[in-house]
Amino acid sequence: MNFLKKFEQKMNRFAIGGIINYVCAMLAMGTVLYLVAPGFLNYLILNPIAIMQGQVWRILTFFVYPPAFTGGNPMGYILFNALAIYCIRSFGTIVEQVWGKFRFNCYIILGVLLNVAASLFMYLVVGFPMVLTPVYLVYSFFFVFALMFPDMQVLLMMVLPLKAKWIAYAEAAVYIYYFVKGDIYTRVQIFVCILHMFIFFGWMVLAGETGYKQKKRQKDFQKKIKPMVSNKTGHKCAVCGRTDKDSPGMEFRYCSKCEGSYEYCMDHLYTHQHVKKPDSPQ
């Protein structure tokens, strides 16, 4: 709808670029605090009783919470959280580059507000002081990535190559299991996460352009360039100059936003500056 596009254009200048870096910094802070000062962490997490008493900063510090728990070994706890934060940042960065900073800002802010609303609702209406965490919100970045690029190959645990859609299916099965077997805290957080994605993707569909219409255009473009890619004798990244001979396992693809036949490796496909004639690739 036009008014959604106009609103986005008007508010885009206020969006925070690279907001995923701030999110991951807070996750890392929570990981460290849990080890060295777990008591202080209790002053930052989302607590509806404390918010009603005036501690509104908890809304801003919502992401100060470890994204992974292993129990027992501190070294294993640090390694798993470091890996989780790395994956969250990687997928979040790609989603932001595809959507643009404004929509990605809105996705994160909406997720925080829905969690705050659910926490306050459970306390004020049901009388249950529910402390919610950002774990399912930050892991939803991967579901969003899988919806946009289901056939893209990713490395599970940085070792096993799998298509994004299969990892998303497995994670969805885990969510269903925890929703059925988990406690009230887990069920509310999963429900909020699913509601969040439905609301946001509904907006994307209404706004058009970078929603499912763009996904269809991307698929059509990939079909058009597939014969051209298969007929080439080699691949070369227009940014770093890397070839398929230098990196046999690396994928190379063309960018639909660049004017001309410019090919990029997966390290630069989403990070390069788009070429506009008569510019040269940068």
* Neighbouring C-alpha atoms within 13 Å toward the C-beta of 13: 2
Dihedral angle computed from the Cα positions of residues 87, 93, 96 and 101, in that order, rounded to the nearest 10 degrees? 130
Asked if residues 35 and 74 have their Cβ atoms less than 8 Å apart, the reply is yes
**Using one digit for the tens of pLDDT, what is the confidence trace for 117-150?**
999 999 988 888 888 888 888 888 888 888 777 7
What sign results for the dihedral spanned by CA atoms 239, 245, 248, 251?
Answer: positive
Between the CA of residue 43 and those of 39, 55, 56, 62, 223, what are the distances in Å? 8, 9, 11, 11, 53
**Using one digit for the tens of pLDDT, what is the confidence trace for 194-227?**
898 888 877 766 655 444 445 555 555 455 545 4
Residue numbers in the chain where pLDDT is lower than 50: 209-213, 221, 225, 227-233, 279-280, 282
The first and second tokens of residue 178, run together, are 């925890």
Distance of CA 192 to the CA centre of its chain: 16
**Against a cut of 0.75, is the pTM above it?**
no
> What distance in Å separates the CA atoms of residue 40 and residue 13, rounded to the nearest whole number?
35
Parse the chain into domains and list their residue ranges: 2-207, 232-282
Q: DSSP string of 28-52?
A: HHHHHHHHH-HHHHTTTS--HHHHH
